[in-house]
Structure 1
Amino acid sequence: MTYLKKFASSSKELTHVQTLAVCAMMLALRVILGIFTNFTLAFMPFVKIGFSFIPIVITAYLYGPVCAAIVSGAGDVLSIILANPTAFSMNPALTACYVWEGIIYGVVLYQSEFKLKDIIIAKAAVLLLCSLPLTTLILSGMMNIPYFTLLLYRAAVLIPFGVIEVLITRLIKPLLNRIKAIKT
């Protein structure tokens, strides 16, 4: 299936009440995980790791890039509003990076067989297109830290954690197969 057809099919998913209900639950889970499971390392406060990617991956696999982008972007906004609206406040550029992450996961994982290769490609694309270059650029400007210094620190943490994310995503495959069987 071409990428444009994935977007069209994902958009059509939004016409189903069941899809809206599941996306709302994934959004709620994204907000909860965004608030309670994200943490920063004491020696690197500009690197945030957590488990809020799980509902985005689930949404991307089940309903595609449009739904995953909505859950990812809205989840970021709601997490900021509910958790700590004064820390860095809302940054639309960072939210756009989260939306792109949802799109990338959706394009790669939607209507795929969810093989390990697909998961690795999705995570590598998110790291190489969003998390490392774009988010680092935005944080560099916000924190007034040289880009390449910040990039090295973030890469040292995010690449190994990316491997852990791939393993966690692979572990939820049986759950996703059960959900997909119910969906159809």
Structure 2
Amino acid sequence: MNKSKFDARSISIIGLLMALEIILTRFVSIETPIVRIGFGFLPVAIIAMLYGPWIAGVAAAITDFMGIILFPKTALFFPGFTLSAFLGGVIYGLVLYKKPKTLGRVILAVVLVAVIVNLGLNTWWLTILLDKAAYVIFPARVIQNLVLAPINVALLYFVLQNKTLRKATGIQ
């Protein structure tokens, strides 16, 4: 697949993956005010692997905004979380785009997103929104990320090794 141009196929794949991200995040996740357990990262990581960090970042930011506007659950729109979504897509792209899809790279991508975005920025945004000290919400977020990181690594690595998906999307 020629990734340097946007053809109808590329735009369709990105659009479908963005729709899947919204569904997985808004409807197939467990959400509390300080913790969200879900699998919306998978479509963003696939976009990052196929089209690079900037397209993945923009797609993640757009899906964050669209998800909040179309399906507001417990959250209101906050631009900090949109920035976090953008950075998560960029991180996946920087680590996985046009690089070998090894277990080590998958671990690196998941850990970087967990530490920088989930534990760092998102905790900061929650302290602003909830008017609570970081030390109050940080322990629950650490536990969440310690539990989810191995699951996220396994899921993402499994997706990368799936021959049908690799053939359909052109993942190298």
- Does TM-score exceed 0.5, indicating one fold? yes
Sequence identity of aligned pairs in percent? 26
The equivalent of 2:30 in structure 1 is 39
For residues 179 and 127 of structure 1, the distance between their equivalents in structure 2, rounded to whole angstroms, comes to 29
Match of 1:142 among 129, 139, 153: 129
For residues 44 and 75 of structure 2, the distance between their equivalents in structure 1, rounded to whole angstroms, comes to 23
The equivalent of 1:164 in structure 2 is 151
* Residue pairs, 1:61-72, within 5 angstroms: 61-72=49-60
The equivalent of 1:58 in structure 2 is 46
Partners of 1:34 and 1:76 within 8 A in 2: no
For residues 7 and 143 of structure 2, the distance between their equivalents in structure 1, rounded to whole angstroms, comes to 42
For residues 55 and 9 of structure 2, the distance between their equivalents in structure 1, rounded to whole angstroms, comes to 13
Note the C-alpha offset of 1:180: 4.2
For residues 128 and 166 of structure 2, the distance between their equivalents in structure 1, rounded to whole angstroms, comes to 42
Matched, 1:83 2:74: no
Bigger mean CA deviation after superposition, 168-177 or 123-132: 168-177
List structure 1 segments (4+ residues) > 3 angstroms apart after TM superposition.
Answer: none
Partners of 1:105 and 1:122 within 8 A in 2: yes
For residues 142 and 89 of structure 1, the distance between their equivalents in structure 2, rounded to whole angstroms, comes to 10
**Could you report, residue by residue, the CA deviation over 1:150-179 in whole angstroms, capped at 9, with x for unpaired residues?**
112101111210110000011112334223
Match of 2:120 among 101, 115, 133: 133
For residues 73 and 112 of structure 1, the distance between their equivalents in structure 2, rounded to whole angstroms, comes to 23
Number of aligned residue pairs: give it.
169
The equivalent of 2:108 in structure 1 is 121
**Could you report, residue by residue, the CA deviation over 1:27-61 in whole angstroms, capped at 9, with x for unpaired residues?**
111111121112125xxx41111010110111111
The equivalent of 2:19 in structure 1 is 28
The equivalent of 2:166 in structure 1 is 177
Unaligned runs of 5+ in 1: 1-8
Q: CA RMSD in A?
A: 2.0
**Could you report, residue by residue, the CA deviation over 1:104-145 in whole angstroms, capped at 9, with x for unpaired residues?**
001101011110000000011111111101100110111111
Q: What letter matches 1:27 in structure 2?
A: M
TM-score, normalisation: structure 1: 0.84
Partners of 1:68 and 1:102 within 8 A in 2: yes
The equivalent of 1:19 in structure 2 is 10
Q: Secondary structure at the match of 2:98?
A: coil
Q: Secondary structure at the match of 2:99?
A: coil
The equivalent of 1:99 in structure 2 is 86
For residues 130 and 145 of structure 1, the distance between their equivalents in structure 2, rounded to whole angstroms, comes to 19
Partners of 1:49 and 1:158 within 8 A in 2: no
Q: What letter matches 2:144 in structure 1?
A: V
